[in-house]
Amino acid sequence: MFADYYNYWVAIILMMLGFYIVISDANLIKKIIGLSIFQTSVFILFISMSKVEGGTAPILAEGITTYSNPLPHVLILTAIVVSVATTALGLAIIARIYREYGTVDENIIHDQDEEDEDNNEATG
Amino acid sequence: MNKKRSLILREACNLIVPAVLLYALYVQFHGDYGPGGGFQAGVIFAAAIILYALVYGRKKTQKIFPASLVRYLISIGLLLYAGVGVASLFMGGNYLDYNVLAHNPQHGQHLGIFLIELGVGITVAAVMIMIFYMLDEYAD
Amino acid sequence: MLTQHLAVLQVVVPLISAPLCALLPLAGSENKLGNKLAWLFATLVSLTTFIIALLIAKEVSDHGVISYQLGGWAPPWGIEYRIDHLSAYILLIVSAIACITMLAAQKSVEKEIAHEKISLFYSAFLLCLTGLLGVVVTGDAFNIFVFLEISSLSSYVLIALGNDRKALTASYQYLIMGTIGATFILIGIGLLYMLTGTLNIVDLQQRIPELLSSRTLHAAFAFFTVGISLKLALLPLHLWLPNAYAYAPSMITVFLSATATKVSLYILFRFFFGLFSNEITFEEFHLDKILIPLSILAILIASSVAVFQNNIKRMFAYSSVAQIGYMTLGIGLATKSGSIAGMLHLFNHAIIKGGLFLAMACIVFRTGSVQLSNFAGLGKRMPWTMAAILLLGLGLIGVPFTAGFISKWYLLIAALEQNNWLAATVIVGGSLLAVMYIWKIIEHAYFKIPISSASEGQVISEAPFTMLIPLWILVAANFYFGVNTSFSYGFANTAINTLFQ
């Protein structure tokens, strides 16, 4: 069972690794890396299911009858663009957070935010 | 700050950048016949420009690709893509119906895909270069 | 000539206007004229979108479902834009709120956002509008994911433009949680594609009943549930919402609170009643057993937390989480009347919450702070704004003659039809909690003496006309739709009847 479905196992293991990094790590940049791994595992899942046994690249040519499925590739291309945009946006926000807070550790930022809110409420 | 990079880096850059730019154009226009297309080509093009900027400095790169030009290119690529769709609206088909773009559906499809991928390539390259410029300014 | 292309124009008009807005002359500079031009352009585009939505709604109620083939390819090979009653309803809400936001936006945006970024702000706003409209219009599952991500990415950008530095952390947290949600939806779509080989929603609906025994289908359903709940801010996955709404620029809170979660609720309707038909959702997968407890917790917990907030924008944000609980409670009752009540509450809440946050925008514009202590004596100095908050607050509580009463009434009827006394008690209990937090604001505004530090040279006058008029349009709508429900109830009724089998 492991040998037959190894592509699904790879996708699931990567997905859980990426998800764990997002949840558990306190460094904001590492969260973005975890998110990237998480999304990459989904791409692997999609693309690995597009291969047809005995099929070649989906470009019309003489004498070939079986082609691999090109549709998941198109879907994943779009999803990769979305993932790149998200990563770029996340890193840009982190660059500004570093400028404002002086740190990229989520716990320290949370403490500074709570102090801010308390000061706000005190002065009105 | 702006000391010159070593001779090896500069010469290697001079050799690599034209080859990468040519490869980017190849990937852009051969998307129908092999792996490729707008997004990949845009990223490769931007990688060449960023390599040049890493070796020679951002100021020199901005003489060829000023930030205002890159800003315009981002919008123009997207407008080209959407504009092809609107053009096919005016020519009687549905949105993004390439069959009506030329005298013959086959030529229409070819022209449509060509223009669309060109729009995507321009926008993606411009966005990547812009991101690099912005992050580099932060480092100053 | 263009009327046959209305479905696609609804998305194309704001899509083309977004880069045009960034390219406008004098854009991006410190020039005030350039910023006014960008605002005018964005307002005209929003008005055009609203007119197109009205034409689409008229066509759908006359002729039934509109189906538009993108690129001339017939479904299921091509992407199809499919507008039925449900889509037309949501289109009207989103475009109307966009219009009202843009009409009121100019002064507030100029005060809160750095001058060189204002035209980019309007550009990002138009992209967000494109994404939200695209989700509703399309009939292809993967296209929903793409447009959802377009709207989400632009809203992360818009939230990060807020004044406070906490806006950045709020935007980052929203980014992480929103991306995980969207990726779960993508996994669900992928698993469905693996099973059936198609992405068209109508086609999927026909193929799924044969596959009910497959474990992959159960996994896909689970992924959809979690992904949509993350986007919808259903408790316990709501943690991004209070901070994101509290620290975003004021006009963005107005827009997002009234549209983003509503569109996610639309996705829930489309996937769980359109794709998996409602029998499969409730009998095979028992979604009601998940939705009802979570909704009850959402209403009670979120309303209680709202009572203790001092930052009033945050208070209204927690109130939004509770109101989303009302909507999902209606859906979780698993009957037609429950879902109609949920949809009605979607419509009414958009009006009420949009109005409340617009009043908050007026207050921030004049006084610069959203703390509760700042409200002391505002009833005298900003009479129109506080009266609007009072009237809209009555709508939130559900006083008769307001829109909120209509939706809570229908929710109560739907709960009692099912003999679900717990749900009925919670619906009424939530209203009592709403009385508590609205009363806090009213008491501070009308019955407390203004603190002297506030009048130190800073004359607090009434909000400008450009912001008051859209605010009172929403207040009037609150009362109009509280009395005349023929449009809101009638459309929701037809929508659910065509969706359910």
- Mean pLDDT, chain A, whole residue set: 89
State the Cα–Cα distance between residues C217 and C222, nearest whole angstrom. Answer: 9
Tell me if C68 sits within 8 A of C81, measured CB to CB: yes
B-chain residue closest to C71, CA distance: B97
Residues in chain B: 140
Instruction: Report chain C residues whose CB lies below 8 A from the CB of B101.
Output: none
- pLDDT tens by residue, C453-499: 544 445 677 888 888 999 999 999 999 998 888 888 888 998 888 88
Distance of residue C370 Cα from the nearest chain A Cα, in angstroms: 9
Contact across the interface for C28 and B75, Cβ inside 8 Å: no
Q: What percent of chain A has pLDDT over 90?
A: 55
CB neighbour list of residue C83: distance below 8 Å, 6 or more residues apart: C7, C56, C60, C65, C66, C67, C68, C91, C137
Q: Tell me the residue type at B112.
A: G
Q: Which of B27, B30, B33, B39 to mutate to test the interface with A (most CBs of A within 10 A)?
A: B39
Residue C132 pLDDT greater than 90, yes or no: yes
Contact across the interface for C15 and B82, Cβ inside 8 Å: yes
- pLDDT at residue B133, as a whole number: 92
Sign of the C-alpha dihedral, residues C468, C469, C472, C477? negative
CB-nearest to B95 from C19, C20, C70 is C70
Q: Where are the domains of chain C?
A: 286-501
Segment 46-105 of chain B within 8 Å of chain C by CB? 71-72, 74-76, 78-79, 82-83, 85-86, 89, 93-99
CB neighbour list of residue C3: distance below 8 Å, 6 or more residues apart: C55
- Quote ipTM for the complex: 0.94
Contact across the interface for C193 and A35, Cβ inside 8 Å: no
Which contiguous run of DSSP H or E holds residue C253? helix C250-269
pTM for this model (two decimals)? 0.94
Residue C127 pLDDT greater than 90, yes or no: yes
- pLDDT tens by residue, A43-60: 999 999 888 888 888 877
Residue B1 pLDDT greater than 70, yes or no: no
Size of interface A-B (CB pairs under 8 A): 15
**Residue C227 main-chain phi, psi, to 5 deg:** -60, -45
CA–CA distance from C240 to each of A107, C318, C324, C358 (Å)?
16, 11, 14, 21
Contact across the interface for B134 and A92, Cβ inside 8 Å: yes
State the Cα–Cα distance between residues C276 and C287, nearest whole angstrom. Answer: 11
- pLDDT at residue C329, as a whole number: 93
Does the domain at residues A6-49+67-123 carry the CATH identifier 3.40.50.300?
no
- Mean pLDDT, chain C, whole residue set: 89
Give the three-state DSSP class for C233. coil
Residue B5 pLDDT greater than 60, yes or no: yes
Q: Which residue has the tokens 């100029």?
A: C110
Tell me if B12 sits within 8 A of B20, measured CB to CB: no
State the Cα–Cα distance between residues C99 and C111, nearest whole angstrom. Answer: 20
- Mean pLDDT, chain B, whole residue set: 90
Q: Quick one: pLDDT band at residue A66, thresholds 50, 70, 90? A: confident
CB-nearest to C72 from B75, B79, B99 is B99
Q: A52 CB near a chain C CB, below 8 Å? A: no
Q: What percent of chain B has pLDDT over 70?
A: 98
The three-state (H, E, C) secondary structure of C297-328, written as one string: HHHHHHHHHHHCCCEHHHHHHHHHHHHHHHHH
- pLDDT tens by residue, C55-114: 999 999 888 888 988 888 888 788 899 999 999 999 999 999 999 999 999 888 888 888
Distance of residue C198 Cα from the nearest chain B Cα, in angstroms: 21
The conformation of residue C284, written as its DSSP 8-state character, comes to I
Distance of residue C380 Cα from the nearest chain A Cα, in angstroms: 19
Q: What number is the average pLDDT over the span A10-15?
A: 94
CB neighbour list of residue A89: distance below 8 Å, 6 or more residues apart: C153, C156, C157, C175
Distance of residue A62 Cα from the nearest chain B Cα, in angstroms: 14
Q: Tell me the residue type at B133.
A: Y
Segment 70-109 of chain A within 8 Å of chain C by CB? 72, 75, 78-79, 82, 85-86, 89-90, 93-94, 96-97, 100-101, 109
Segment among B23-27, B99-103, C27-31, C93-97 with least mean pLDDT = C27-31
Give the three-state DSSP class for C200. strand
- pLDDT at residue C455, as a whole number: 47
Q: How many helices (H) and strands (E) does chain A have?
A: 4, 0
- pLDDT at residue C351, as a whole number: 93
Give the distance, in angstroms, between the CA of residue B129 and the centroid of all CA atoms in the same chain.
Answer: 9
Q: Ramachandran region of residue A67, left (φ > 0), alpha (ψ -120 to 50) or beta?
A: beta
Contact across the interface for A77 and B37, Cβ inside 8 Å: yes
Q: Which of C142, C175, C312 to mutate to test the interface with A (most CBs of A within 10 A)?
A: C175
CB-nearest to B94 from C18, C28, C72 is C72
- pLDDT tens by residue, C392-428: 999 999 898 888 999 999 999 999 998 889 999 999 9
Give the three-state DSSP class for A105. strand
- pLDDT at residue B2, as a whole number: 58
Q: What number is the average pLDDT over the span A12-19?
A: 94
- pLDDT at residue C113, as a whole number: 87
Q: Which of C79, C168, C309 to mutate to test the interface with A (most CBs of A within 10 A)?
A: C168
Q: Quick one: pLDDT band at residue C123, thresholds 50, 70, 90? A: very high
Instruction: Report chain C residues whose CB lies below 8 A from the CB of B78.
Output: 18-19
Long-range contacts of C450-453 (CB under 8 A, 24+ apart): C450/C376, C450/C377, C450/C378, C450/C380, C450/C381, C451/A124, C451/C373, C451/C376, C453/A124
Strand partners, C80: C69
Q: Where are the domains of chain A?
A: 6-49+67-123
Whether the link from the prior residue into C76 is cis, omega within 30° of 0, is: yes
Residue A2 pLDDT greater than 80, yes or no: no
Tell me if B28 sits within 8 A of B118, measured CB to CB: yes
Residue B23 pLDDT greater than 90, yes or no: yes
Instruction: Report chain C residues whose CB lies below 8 A from the CB of B79.
Output: 16, 19-20
State the Cα–Cα distance between residues B126 and B69, nearest whole angstrom. Answer: 9
- pLDDT at residue B40, as a whole number: 92
Tell me if C144 sits within 8 A of C135, measured CB to CB: yes
Q: What number is the average pLDDT over the span C194-223?
A: 90
Instruction: Report chain C residues whose CB lies below 8 A from the CB of A78.
Output: 142, 146
Residue C201 pLDDT greater than 60, yes or no: yes
Q: What is the DSSP string of B82-116?
A: HHHHHHHHHTTS-TT-GGGSSSSHHHHHHHHHHHH
A-chain residue closest to B134, CA distance: A92
Residue A122 pLDDT greater than 70, yes or no: yes
Strand partners, C83: C66
Distance of residue C199 Cα from the nearest chain A Cα, in angstroms: 10
A-chain residue closest to C78, CA distance: A71
Q: What percent of chain C has pLDDT over 70?
A: 96
- pLDDT tens by residue, A82-109: 999 999 999 999 999 999 899 989 999 9
- pLDDT at residue C456, as a whole number: 46
Tell me if C315 sits within 8 A of C467, measured CB to CB: no
Tell me if C344 sits within 8 A of C407, measured CB to CB: yes
A-chain residue closest to B135, CA distance: A92
Q: Residues of C at the B interface (Cβ-Cβ below 8 Å)?
A: 2, 5, 8, 12, 15-16, 18-20, 22-23, 28, 68-72
State the Cα–Cα distance between residues C389 and C367, nearest whole angstrom. Answer: 16
State the Cα–Cα distance between residues B31 and B52, nearest whole angstrom. Answer: 26
Residue B42 pLDDT greater than 90, yes or no: yes
Instruction: Report chain A residues whose CB lies below 8 A from the CB of B135.
Output: 91-92, 95
- pLDDT at residue C26, as a whole number: 65
Burial state string for C191-229 with b = 16 or more CB within 10 A and e = fewer than 16:
bbbebbebbbbbbbbeebeeeeeeeebeebbebbbbbbb
Q: What number is the average pLDDT over the span B57-80?
A: 91
Residue C187 pLDDT greater than 90, yes or no: yes
Residue A81 pLDDT greater than 90, yes or no: yes
- pLDDT tens by residue, C230-282: 999 998 899 999 999 999 999 999 999 999 999 999 999 999 998 888 888 88
Segment among C52-56, C175-179, C440-444 with least mean pLDDT = C440-444
